[in-house]
Structure 1
Amino acid sequence: MAQKKMGLQTVKFVNPPSIISSGTIVGPKEGQGPLKDYFDMILTDDTYGEKSWEKAECKMFQDSVNLALKKASLNINDIDYLIGGDLLNQIITSSFAARQFNVPTFGLYGACSTMAEGLSIGSMLIDGGFADYVIVTTSSHFSTAERQYRFPLEQGVQRPFTAQWTVTGSGSSLLSSTGSGPYITHVTTGKVVDLGMKDANNMGAAMAPAAADTIITHFNDTGFTINDYDLIITGDMARVGKSILMELLNKDGLNIEDKYKDCGIEIYDESQDVHSGGSGAGCSAVVLNGWLLSQIKNGTFNRVLFIATGALLSPTSTQQGESIPGIAHAVTISRYT
């Protein structure tokens, strides 16, 4: 019997894992945004001293892991599992970074939802008694994502205003079976939702229905109300997806506007010309592991619902004329157990 399951899709942990440290690295553009003071490292150029953007992304992944380990005074041999994901074909960033660490590894692909997916699985491993330390890492890079999913940068293609800017960055969360918090107390695993959106330059619209489905399910499963949270923050809705999400939730009687933020909006200033906002597997990862965890630790927020969202497209599916499925995973992060 699944004794820790609540409702249809939610798990409540008996021994909630603690996020004992984190690591964040971002690119130059992200380092000019409003959250710049919360990142551990800001690159001066997006190649990070490497010969390609892909190698730079892999180096960011590795170094964000090392930053989290250093803060916790641990080394990689203390880690039971590495859980990683990124946007590139066959998650090569995560796999190529993991070959340097020589630890048991789970590679995940949830697009921009991967950070919440990794936190969910890592927390289950720890609460289930299968691990004491799990590190969860995701990454993305504007230039690697653009030439994989859309157009070569050299073409200078004009982006529509619904488009989002892929964050160059990597974030790591180090989870432990012991620690003083913040704690992960609940996770709600999302379902794949597809309402037929085909525009790869409007991912917010593709992801919003999945985000709405997960948020509604979370409240139904747990019995929580909006007032139980100080903040509800989505991963990469950006401006277009945020407005659609709020409309969908309002139709179901949920008005989250007063407590709602989005990582893709918070990471950039409006003057930075990112159109709808930020996206990428690294977007919610660096906002969570930089700004958000600091706000929980200092008591600004006591309980947060973190919902990372993903558009599950690929170059292959786009070439076949497929629509874009969306998914969203929710994680409750609290100062207290």
Structure 2
Amino acid sequence: MVKANGTIQFTEKPSISSTGVTVGPMEKDSPFASAFDEILLVEKEKNESYEEANTRFIEKACAITVKKGHEKMENIDVFIGGDLINQLSPTNFAARKLNIPYLGVFSACASSVESLIIGSLLLESGKASSILAGASSHHPAVERQFRYPLEYGAQKPKTAQWTVTAAGFALLQKQVKNAPIITHGTIGRVVDGKQTNPFHMGAAMAPAARDTIERHLTNTNSKMSDFDVIMTGDLGKIGLNILKDMFTDEDCHVILQDAGAQFYGEDTFFNAGASGAGCSAAVFLSHIYNQLQNGTFKRVLLVATGALLSPLTFQQGETIPCIAHAIECRMEKRN
């Protein structure tokens, strides 16, 4: 049932029965590295282009997810995915090989959670029983499209973030024993904080994250302290601090965390931290998933944030509208 202001309660409580995360070479030093399934040491991975390599990362993550779920690819009903490249071409080409009924989604870096919400809705409707959902990003490909080719050697300000090379996917099914479940989802609204700087995504996306978190808490009659963690996708270190300043709840300083702020640790080479559709997908579907499975976390809110700009709209002087989608996950033991 969809409540007021976009929150959905999933009565069937779809299970995240398995996950798969592949990352690139710069991600091997992440504090989350031990939770990743495969670290590929070459970003191009013997492919003709970075965009083609992005496709391979998706294919590998999907294969890992299905294998860990003790399933076969031909038994998957729907494949839902997104990335940051024009027309979702890496995900489209991965879907061509997977040969599964396919829904391509785009909410920029919020695509990971958007895909999980759509997958959960399909399970809720009874129209599907096994769904592969997730998102990806690829650093050199995304930099070339949205900013400058790496060969250009452009210098970035301290507010900039590093696009993660990663793909993260989940297998959603019904009634799986000892698997985290998705109890609620909150669909984001487009929020425009009137930011225009493409090198300060944290400031642009923070208002959308606040809007979604506030609506989710209100619609589920919850408060921040009810959660072990509320983790946003890729606000980065600066954006996370901006978000915390938007709340008066003192619990926000402990409960609110950000995958992008933590992804590369304290290494200043990455400026304000990480970003990209693969950032939230990789952290949510590895570290957070494991923490739910082992009982460290009992209840979490995952909020993926996305900047809905394009290279064209930026050149036309448009502001940067943003969105944030959320899912609430719990660990529920089933007999």
Query: CA–CA distance in 2 between the matches of 1:9 and 1:37?
Result: 35
**Following TM superposition, by how much is the alpha carbon of 1:7 offset from its aligned partner in structure 2, in angstroms?**
3.0
Q: Return the offset for 1:249.
A: 2.0
8 A contact 2:113–2:134 mirrored in 1: no
Match of 1:109 in 2: 106
Which letter maps to 1:225? Answer: K
Superposition pairs of residues 39-78 of structure 1, within 5 angstroms: 39-78=36-75
- Report what 1:274 is aligned to: 270
Partner of 1:118: 115
Identity of aligned residues (%): 42
- Measured in 2, the distance between the counterparts of 1:258 and 1:18 equals 27
Cα distance change on mapping 1:272 and 1:70 into 2, 3 Å: farther
TM-fit CA distance, 1:6: 2.6
- Give the direction of change, closer, same or farther, for the CA distance of 1:254–1:123 in structure 2 (3 Å limit): farther
In the alignment, which residue of structure 2 is the partner of 1:81? 78
Q: Find the counterpart in structure 2 of residue 195 from structure 1.
A: 193
Contact persistence 1:132–1:176 (CA under 8 A): yes
CA shift, 1:255, in A, is 4.1
- Displaced runs of 4+ in structure 1, greater than 3 A? none
Match of 2:125 in 1: 128
Which amino acid counterpart does residue 222 of structure 1 have in structure 2?
A: T
Give me the whole-angstrom Cα distance separating, in 1, the residues matched to 2:224 and 2:244.
Answer: 13
Specify which of 200, 210, 213 is matched with residue 215 of structure 1.
213
Deviations 1:145-169 (A, max 9, x none): 1110001211111100000000001
- Which amino acid counterpart does residue 175 of structure 1 have in structure 2? L
Following the alignment from structure 1 to structure 2, what is the Cα–Cα distance between the partners of residues 254 and 120? 29
How far, CA to CA, are the matches of 2:124 and 2:267 in structure 1? 43
Task: Determine if contact 2:21/2:61 at 8 Å carries over to the other structure.
Answer: yes
Match of residue 94 from structure 2:
97
Task: Please list every run of 5 or more consecutive structure 1 residues that lacks an aligned counterpart in the other structure.
Answer: none
Quote the offset at 1:29 in angstroms: 0.9
C-alpha contact (below 8 Å) 1:7/1:222 kept by paired residues: no
Aligned pairs (5 A) from 1:143-158: 143-158=140-155
Amino acid at match of 1:149: F
Counterparts of 2:32 and 2:218, CA distance in 1? 33
Contact 1:24 1:64 in 2 (8 A): yes
- Per-residue Cα deviation, 1:60-88 (whole angstroms, up to 9, x for no partner): 00110000001112111111110010000
Structure-1 separation of matches of 2:87 and 2:49: 18
For residues 303 and 329 of structure 1, what CA distance do their matches in structure 2 show? 17
**Stretch moving more, 271-280 or 200-209:** 271-280
Match for 1:334 among 302, 311, 330? Answer: 330
Letter in 1 for 2:247: L
Post-superposition offset of 1:254: 6.6
Find the counterpart in structure 1 of residue 161 from structure 2.
164
| Counterpart residue identity of residue 309, structure 2 | L
The one-letter code matched in structure 2 to 1:17 is P
- The answer (yes or no) to whether the contact 2:307–2:320 under 8 Å persists in 1 is yes
Q: For the Cα contact (< 8 Å) 1:7–1:220, is it kept in 2?
A: no
Q: Distance in 2 between matches of 1:169 and 1:291?
A: 14
Q: Secondary structure at the match of 2:5?
A: coil
Cα displacement (A) at 1:137: 2.2
The residue identity in structure 1 corresponding to 2:256 is Y
Is contact 1:78–1:133 with CA below 8 Å preserved after alignment? yes
Q: CA deviation at 1:316?
A: 1.4
What is the aligned residue count? 332
Q: Aligned equivalents of 1:269 and 1:255: distance in 2?
A: 23
Q: Is the 8 A contact 1:309 1:328 kept in 2?
A: yes
Structure 2 counterpart of 1:292: 288
Q: Tell me the residue number matched to 2:317.
A: 321
Verify the 8 A CA contact 1:184 1:334 in the aligned structure 2: yes
| Local SS of the residue matching 2:98 | coil
C-alpha distance in 1 between matches for 2:20 and 2:117: 18
- Does the residue aligned with 1:99 lie in a helix, a strand or coil? helix
- Name the residue aligned to 1:265: 261
Q: After alignment, is 300-309 or 29-38 more displaced?
A: 29-38
Supply the distance in 1 between the matched residues of 2:17 and 2:210 (Cα, whole angstroms).
Answer: 30
TM-score normalized by structure 2? Answer: 0.97
CA contact (8 A) 1:131 1:177 kept: no
Consecutive unaligned residues in structure 2, runs of 5 or more: none
1:206-256 superposed Cα distances (whole Å, 9 cap, x missing partner) = 100000000011111110111221111000011111011111122xx5741
Q: Which amino acid aligns with 1:208?
A: A
- Once residues 11 and 153 of structure 1 are traced to their aligned partners in structure 2, the CA distance between those partners, rounded to angstroms, is 41
- After superposition, residues 4-43 of structure 1 pair within 5 angstroms as 4-43=1-40
